[in-house]
Structure 1
Amino acid sequence: MTNAIGVQRATAVELREVTREYGGKHARVCALDGVSLAFPQGTWTAVMGPSGSGKSTLLHCAAGLEHVSSGQVFLAGEDITAASDRELTDLRRREIGFVFQSFNLIGSLTAEQNVALPLKLSGHRVSKKDVRAVLSGVGLADRMRHRPRELSGGQQQRVAIARAMVTRPAVLFADEPTGALDSTSARTVLGLLRQMVDTAGQTIVMVTHDPAAAACADSVVFLSDGRIVDRAVAPSAREVADRLAALEA
């Protein structure tokens, strides 16, 4: 991808002719069918499609959560296609952040402790300064010692984003990050993601069913039956909704 002044961006994640199949030879399901797709550094890509189109499978394969049946996956310039589970776990801890619809916070830990958890699990020294800085960056400087039950849904999602970002990952994968939020909280979270791309150069790959959320991204990729069938650059929410409706018709 080339930006507005003609500078070629490096690629953060790339799938080359990726196929992912499930089941045996008599009941085989092809979730991804020869998908080739590159996610440039410092960009936000939304992935959309009807139910069963392969959105989550694409996200999981790109993040190294699932092995592909054929093809190649490159993450941060490294071919992870044949990596072992241990190698993939180490790579994910170093290069990837995850944000999910369900937040996945630990209820007995404070916001500060939840954010510090990935650092502890990877054996890194936990810097309270870094943890507090990332929480301040998501607007929660005054909520660091609150537990999840003391936070709103939007605040919990912002803690989850801070937790994903504390290791400074090459790519942030988001699976329906606003799906459990009210409209006001969703706008806040989407604004935060936009800021991370524009000011920090973060790369984001987001699966969503919400046209308004997808319209916040730089580009949208549409899947159907495991294949890329459409793309849009900086579309409006109406354009996204119309294209999605055409696929579901």
Structure 2
Amino acid sequence: MDNLSLTCLAGTWTAVLGPSGSDKSTLPHCAAGLDKITSGRALPADRDITDASDTVLTELRRRVIGRVFQSLNLIGPLTAEQNVAFPSKMARVRVSRAQVRQALTDVGLGDRAMHKPREMAGGQQQRVAIARAMISRLSALFADEPTGALDSTSAKIVLELLRRLVWEAGQSIVMVTHDPAVAASADTVVFLSDGHLVDRLDRPTTSLVAERLARWGC
């Protein structure tokens, strides 16, 4: 990334698009503290993590910064219920089993609480990851192609759940995608090219996003 400055308002959903090699996936990794930046500042949820230690970053990921990536980081031996509760347990935040079950019910997996990841389809696993983000009440959520491996029905469910996180829980979402229809679910779409922020679109529609993508050769 080169001289890239992006501010996302709290309680809003920002989609990031760009061609391969544009660093669109690098952006959420740096903003979430997964990759360390060499200059500038990273402030997810107004926390300056630029020079944060691994200990501080770990604590922030438990309490402030969530991730929903294609590699879901679900724990194989644990059930869906245990996976949802795990981050809160690690953060020493008490959540009841009823709360965990309700989160799974909210994402349409109330009957899958005792299933392990290998016993669920990709879309169901993605919804477990979102239930985990819902119950953790994190301020900022970074998603990298969260619908990329899903069929259209599962993708629609996931997008609706992400919108609920913004509207009902007030979470801030930054989502990387290559799909204009997925990007149109967001409040704002930004476009990257060669590590630069080259365009921004508020109140996006699928056709407007596709038009801008064509403009920038995406």
State the Cα distance separating 1:107 from its structure 2 match. 2.8
Partner Cα distance (1:123, 1:91) in 2: 13
Match among 13, 31, 35 for residue 44 of structure 1: 13
Q: Which residue of 2 aligns with 1:227?
A: 196
Partner Cα distance (1:200, 1:230) in 2: 28
* Pair 1:208 & 2:177 matched: yes
- Normalized against structure 1, the TM-score is what? 0.82
Question: What secondary structure, in the 3-state scheme, does the structure 1 residue paired with 2:40 have?
Answer: strand
Correspondence 1:148-159 to 2 at 5 A: 148-159=117-128
Partner Cα distance (2:159, 2:140) in 1: 16
State the Cα distance separating 1:133 from its structure 2 match. 2.3
Q: Which residue of 2 aligns with 1:76?
A: 45
CA contact (8 A) 2:137 2:169 kept: no
Partner Cα distance (2:67, 2:150) in 1: 17
Alignment gaps of 5+ in structure 2:
none
State the Cα distance separating 1:146 from its structure 2 match. 1.7
CA contact (8 A) 1:97 1:165 kept: no
Q: C-alpha deviations, 1:17-39, integer Å up to 9, x for none?
A: xxxxxxxxxxxxxxx11111111
Q: Report which of the two has the higher share of helix.
A: 2
Q: Which residue of 2 aligns with 1:174?
A: 143
Q: Which residue of 1 aligns with 2:78?
A: 109
Q: Which residue of 2 aligns with 1:160?
A: 129
The AA in structure 2 aligned to 1:39 is C
* Pair 1:241 & 2:210 matched: yes
Please say which structure displays the higher CA radius of gyration. Answer: 1
Question: What secondary structure, in the 3-state scheme, does the structure 1 residue paired with 2:216 have?
Answer: helix
CA contact (8 A) 1:105 1:114 kept: yes
Partner Cα distance (2:27, 2:37) in 1: 10
Question: What secondary structure, in the 3-state scheme, does the structure 2 residue paired with 1:200 have?
Answer: coil
State the Cα distance separating 1:57 from its structure 2 match. 1.2
Ranges of 4+ aligned residues in structure 1 off by more than 4 Å: none
State the Cα distance separating 1:113 from its structure 2 match. 1.1
State the Cα distance separating 1:129 from its structure 2 match. 2.4
Identity %: 65
* Pair 1:66 & 2:35 matched: yes
Partner Cα distance (1:148, 1:196) in 2: 23
Q: Which residue of 1 aligns with 2:154?
A: 185
Question: Are the structure 2 counterparts of residues 239 and 56 from structure 1 closer, same or farther at C-alpha, using a change threshold of 3 Å?
Answer: same
CA contact (8 A) 1:100 1:177 kept: yes
CA contact (8 A) 1:102 1:180 kept: no
Correspondence 1:8-157 to 2 at 5 A: 32-157=1-126
Partner Cα distance (1:53, 1:166) in 2: 33
Q: C-alpha deviations, 1:92-143, integer Å up to 9, x for none?
A: 2110111111333233221101111212333444521221222122122222
Alignment gaps of 5+ in structure 1:
1-31
Q: Report which of the two has the higher share of strand.
A: 1
How many residues are aligned here?
218
CA contact (8 A) 1:173 1:204 kept: yes
Q: For the aligned residues, what is the CA RMSD?
A: 1.5
